[in-house]
Structure 1
């Protein structure tokens, strides 16, 4: 961060909660959250990674009773939400209201439920940009190393304003195209978000925006409505699970870590 943005850890939200939106509807990998990985459902592994990141409260926002049952059987906290929510943001907003109607949690981290091997330090890093009170939403990015990702529309690029030596900076745009132009790094956006509570409430109340609909990227709704997003740069890209091949790969990776 620049000198005028350098703030103490005391500026961070004091009582964040991690919410993991999860539902069974997956076309490429049916019942994905319940996929077995070394004796535990994938969603339970995600829950444990969040706890290992040091967060006191972690819960799964479930769209299906089977997910809630699996989480509770493992000793985790689960809350049922409308199965027809259009996005994970809408799901965690409903879950937050149900779990914390008194408003004790001042920030919420939206952690994807298909990252069972994520480094807990990466989960914790998502909160760091909120040390700046001017930031509404925090997220993560990592340098694009694989050249095949540059033109892959499934790899979302974050346009970050970063000076040399900085690891946190404003996110000015997100695109499926390789932007910005010119010499310099391209940033692979990692879809983990930390919202200030008021920012999440405002965000889900906004209608879909023109650039959001054009790029099919929900975070552009926030930028188009004047909300400020900042990203922390991390060294590694967490492995996601979307296909049976991804599942087998993550089983092998996690077996090697045991």
Structure 2
């Protein structure tokens, strides 16, 4: 299988580059499935139903979220009903929505998408390792599912790396999100799980992690907020990860970073 994971989409620029490029990438890369992290898609904070629909119409199969899952109040109307929308699995019991979902591809392959949120320098949610472990123990790669992706939305690189090793041999890929900067450590672990610490963001990199520079600089240099954070609106880069797996085992055969457009050096 060939699966594309696109990193955190930040604001209008990020949305536009994803909506423009995903249809082209589905054809040129012969993709079976596309996952997008959309938790910053609505003006940098959360996501709306209109935006989810625009992603689906462009060819996105699944949207994962993160610590901004519920920033837009209107998302509560569809969080439980939209089966393609996934928030962190380790939110407390009773939180609307789902932390994992199973999909069928056009070729009839089964793919399980799981998202968890880290706890280091983040909100003190339930244990992400225990939550992911329960799901992997009940969903076997190669026999029950052809592809399993674990997205760890986390601040600490160590926590992401630990999750990668924790899932090695049980998931097709573990990909980190949240930090908005693509890391250079794409690899396949000994057990066959593809890994990258952070996929980066889809947004304008002439910014401070996707936000216009003035307000972050003011807060860093003067410690005085002067307004809201607003997404940068320049040319955006689509940052993502392309994972290919063995159809028999579900384990990874390759993992490659993708960067298209904007200010970063392109790679495809």
TM (norm. structure 1) is 0.30
More helix by share: 1
| Greater length-normalized contact order (CA 8 Å, ≥ 6 residues apart) | 1
